[in-house]
């Protein structure tokens, strides 16, 4: 069945704009790894000589729906071939303004290999916006290295599931994790969650897709040091997402 333009635009916006509500401002694309994207607040210029801070967030997203991936690549064919960093706020603004000029088609994503710039424009070139830049495949390999090192922390993995909590504006909600086996006793700790920042957006993605979804919290526990790192996993019929905070370490309190 042929999908109309408005439906395609809505689906593509869910992936490029609503998934993390643009609060993870950069999307890292590797055309050699189809369907895998990184959403992060860590720019490529930082990741090469990476020194984590407590504010850093890296999300690895795998699109599992062939239909959704097809729509994304049909909308922006360059995504299949480029290695790039996209500024999602600029990208979203450019899409909205270009579609307003030409409401029946996706804007063109132009790759300039001389300047390494990515520009979005209408087919007639009446509106044009800088939305990202080309980077090297070597540089973005560091994102996978961050994910790999993170997953090897501690001596075991503890999981809990929870339904999404609506977090508005800049509010944070503390998620309390109890009854964790740690060395020879039980431990607990709490960590802040914030919509779109360290988990897939409940407000802009899950609710608007009308999904009855939940998150899985994975705690990588170092029992002897009584510490843990946290990743928040999410999955639905379109995608799998794993969000981690490389520079954050949580201390476990004895129950």
HEC readout, the chain: CCCCHHHHHHHHHHHHHHCCCCCCCEEEEECCCCCEEEEECCCHHHHCCCCCCCCCCEEEEEECCHHHHHHHHHHCHHHHCCEEEEEHHHHHHHHHHHHHHCCCCCCEEEEECCCCEEEEECCCCCCEEEEEEECCHHHHHHHHHHHHHHHCCCCEEEEEEEECCCCCCCCCEEEEEEEEEECCEEEEEEEEECECCCECCHHHHHCCCCCCCEEEEEEEEECCCCEEEEEEEEECCCEEEEEECCCCCEECEEC
Domain boundary among 93, 116, 145: 145
Domain boundary among 117, 145, 173: 145
Q: Which domain holds residue 232?
A: 153-254
pTM over 0.85: yes
194 in the same domain as 77: no
Number of domains in the chain: 2
183 in the same domain as 115: no
Going residue by residue through the chain (255 aa), what tens digit of pLDDT does each one get? Answer: 578 999 999 999 999 999 999 999 999 999 999 999 999 999 999 998 899 999 999 999 999 999 999 999 999 999 999 999 999 999 999 999 999 999 999 999 999 999 999 999 998 887 899 999 999 999 999 999 999 999 999 888 888 888 766 555 555 677 788 778 776 778 888 888 888 999 899 889 999 999 988 899 998 999 888 899 999 999 999 999 999 999 999 888 886
161 in the same domain as 134: no
184 in the same domain as 118: no
203 in the same domain as 135: no
126 in the same domain as 70: yes
């Amino acid at each position: 069945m042929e999908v109309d333009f408005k439906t395609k635009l809505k689906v593509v916006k869910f992936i490029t704009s609503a998934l993390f509500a643009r609060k993870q401002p950069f999307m890292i694309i590797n055309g050699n790894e189809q369907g895998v994207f990184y959403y992060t607040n860590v720019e490529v210029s930082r990741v090469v000589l990476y020194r984590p801070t407590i504010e850093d967030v890296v999300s690895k997203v795998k699109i599992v729906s062939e239909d959704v991936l097809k729509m994304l690549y049909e909308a922006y064919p360059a995504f299949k071939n480029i290695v790039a960093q996209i500024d999602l706020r600029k990208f979203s603004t450019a899409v909205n303004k270009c579609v307003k000029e030409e409401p029946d088609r996706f804007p063109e994503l132009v790759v300039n290999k001389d300047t390494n710039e990515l520009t979005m424009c209408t087919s007639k070139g009446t509106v044009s916006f800088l939305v990202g830049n080309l980077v090297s495949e070597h540089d973005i390999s560091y994102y996978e290295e961050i994910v790999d090192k993170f997953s090897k922390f501690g001596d075991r993995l503890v999981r809990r599931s929870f339904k999404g909590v609506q977090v508005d504006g800049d509010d944070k909600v503390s998620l309390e994790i109890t009854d964790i086996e740690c060395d020879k006793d039980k431990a607990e700790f709490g960590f802040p969650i914030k919509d779109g920042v360290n988990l897939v957006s409940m407000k802009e993605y899950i609710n608007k897709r009308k999904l009855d979804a939940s998150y899985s919290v994975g705690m990588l526990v170092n029992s002897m040091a009584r510490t843990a790192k946290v990743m928040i996993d999410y999955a639905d019929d379109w995608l799998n997402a794993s969000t981690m905070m490389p520079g954050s370490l949580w201390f476990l309190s004895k129950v």
